[in-house]
Structure 1
Amino acid sequence: MSRGAGGGLGYTVQWARSLVFSILLYAGMAVYGLVYLPWALASREGAVAACQGWCRYARWLARWCVGLRTEVRGTPPAGEVLIAAKHQSFLDIIMIYGSVPRGRFIMKKELTHAPILGWFARRIGCVPVDRGRRAQAVKRMVADVAAGRSDPGQLIIYPQGTRVAPGVPAPYKIGSGALYEAFGQPCVPVACNVGIFWPRRGVHRRPGTAVVEFLPEIPAGLPVMEFMARLEGEIETRSDALLAETGFPVRVAG
């Protein structure tokens, strides 16, 4: 992506706005955390309300501060399902969580040590995963999720296991298939293009319209490998289409 019509000056101004945005974003996280803390200590509903409120604030702030609009397409699920999503930046976390009533993430264990974010993530029911040998990690993840299934909602997993830059291929890991098979729940794939505007690293945020799209549900009961192939095909195809809407060059089949 180029630095835009304003050249070097335009880029510098947008970078400065992005820096202000980042400061206000995390300051807002602290404010929401403190204001909602008494309720969150007393009830998990308070933690959910705090996180939902901060997600709304983050999306409003992005539009006001850096000209980044956010659009959610499709139908966010309200029932007890597995959500398997493309992960390009922190923005897709904000948009997905803010769109479902009772989301909880499969998350890296290291994030539980993050100030404010880590405590609230545990409080809303997120499941920390300690990365290790593949087979052991998958078994532990299934066991950890099973231990917390008394709290119904939408379990959100990133099948590629980490943030992946737009247009960069990365394998889909078996963890989402293991959860799909173990719990017998339908799965809602999610595509996005948010990494174009909010990259994995750095301060700069680009103006435009970032899209997260909830795709049609994949029913429960498919063989795992069939499910994995369908999941990857649907997410990658639709994510490429969303990238193409922005003019980003996408992969050509064959």
Structure 2
Amino acid sequence: MGGVNREETSARRRRGLGATPAADRAPWHPRRLRDLLRLAVADRQAIDADGLLPPENELMDEFSASRTAIRDALALLVDEGQIERRRGQGTSRVASYIVFDIAVPGPQDIDEYRRLTSGVVPRLLHRSWTPAPAPLARRLTGVATGEPCLAIEYVLNARNEPIAVITNYLRASEGEMVAEVPFVADFYTFLLDAGVDIADQATTLQARLADNEVAPLLDVEVGSPVLAFEQAIRNGRGEVVDVALGVFRDDVRMTASNFVYRPPG
């Protein structure tokens, strides 16, 4: 009781558990290696000027993996449509990502945030006052069922392509501040320019398939994978002032940067 089983310990060392990692090729499972190689596909610094990934021998050295493991992992990425392999020509990236930052910028970060989102343009579909149904009222701070909130539905475009269909629901107090303001930038900039206090956010994500309502708006086929989300935007007092519901196209990489809200002064 409480002792060390020498036979078990020796067996663990033979399996590489609890021992110093060996310097030879790691026994990568293709799934885990695929996930790491997907990072290389997404990382522009890992791609050369011709859009090619490093050759197999360089990937073997970089990941300390066998040639078979590298090839198996690359085959999985081919199946995903991330890369294309041509004999004698190398491995090229097929997938193209749009990076979208969901973090709320603090006052000291707003200039950098505007620069990063300068190519994001909304196409307004609908803006009107609507009574808050119970599920929405429960999420908005201080809003009772049936009280008015401002609904703003739009298609978000980046690089001249639709990347998301979103509806934001603002409390009446914040909605009144933006009800007549032109909506021509990303939503955070829209709120900040109107003087709305926003401090942070929380987002819930779920994989879904595009239905016949959002598919044409996103320029994808019905049944294509999309990323559905629910977002709560809070002010500096921790009150939820806005709830957003929407879907992103599957070629969007969502990030939460290190923008940190710091009250002025």
The structure where helix makes up a greater share of residues is: 1
The structure where strand makes up a greater share of residues is: 2
The structure, 1 or 2, with the larger RCO (C-alpha pairs under 8 Å, 6+ apart) is: 1
TM range (shorter): under 0.3
- Greater gyration radius: 2
Normalised to the residue count of structure 2, the TM-score between the two structures is 0.24
